[in-house]
A and B are shown apart, each in its own frame.
Chain A
């Protein structure tokens, strides 16, 4: 069965610094990969997803992620952090079915 591991339950960066949130997946078939963001007291919102095609995926709010099959990774990056990026971020994986498996989440803190 597929699964994801998010390295680091908490990441803290300064405003304007690079954001890097790590996600490694396990899947027996070519995976679909997702990043979701959860702001306090809100539901999850899709940031970006990889299904097929280009391995560098651009999402909303300036985020992007690169699918690296050789490393089984799908790390999320943003060149310059903004205070409004502070939230919980979830990586998720799925095979061709409906079932999405989520990671444990990474809380991003942005310091002024």
Chain B
């Protein structure tokens, strides 16, 4: 049973395109996150989403937008893709907000922009 799943696992696309990455968690968690891991392995939080409250990392371009159709899903939409968007994107979830709650990570989506 996969706790946090992401699709697709790999995504190769050209500059200027719009793409989406899907994330689903079957843990019944209330909070979900998106992280970006760059080529140097730095992991940065992009968004957290809890009960329709979205907290955005101020460094994230507005080309990135999370969409949550329900509590179990948090999809990531990216418009006008740029070369610098190439990275591995991780979805995560936790039972509640705050770092005392363990975050469970998905396997990641490797995005390559050419």
A residues with CB within 8 A of B: 32, 34, 41-46, 49, 51, 88, 90, 92, 94, 96-100, 102, 104-105
Size of B's binding interface in residues, CB under 8 A: 24
Stretch at the interface among B67-75, B77-85, B96-104: B96-104
Given the complex, which residues of A lie within 8 Å of B104, measured CB to CB?
43
B residues with CB within 8 A of A: 4, 31, 40-45, 48, 55, 57, 90, 92, 97-100, 102-108
In the assembled complex, the Cα of A42 lies from the Cα of B107 at a distance in Å of 5
Interchain residue pairs with CB less than 8 A apart (11):
A42-B107, A44-B92, A90-B41, A92-B43, A94-B99, A97-B98, A98-B45, A98-B55, A99-B57, A104-B41, A105-B42
In the assembled complex, the Cα of A51 lies from the Cα of B99 at a distance in Å of 9
**Residue ID in chain A nearest B90 by CB atoms:** A43
**Residue ID in chain B nearest A105 by CB atoms:** B41
In the assembled complex, the Cα of A104 lies from the Cα of B107 at a distance in Å of 18
In the assembled complex, the Cα of A34 lies from the Cα of B101 at a distance in Å of 12
Given the complex, which residues of A lie within 8 Å of B57, measured CB to CB?
99
Taking the nearest CB of chain B, how far is it from the CB of A62, in angstroms? 19
Known: A32-B99, A42-B108, A44-B43. 10 other contacts (CB 8 A): A43-B90, A43-B92, A90-B41, A92-B43, A97-B98, A97-B99, A98-B98, A102-B44, A105-B41, A105-B42
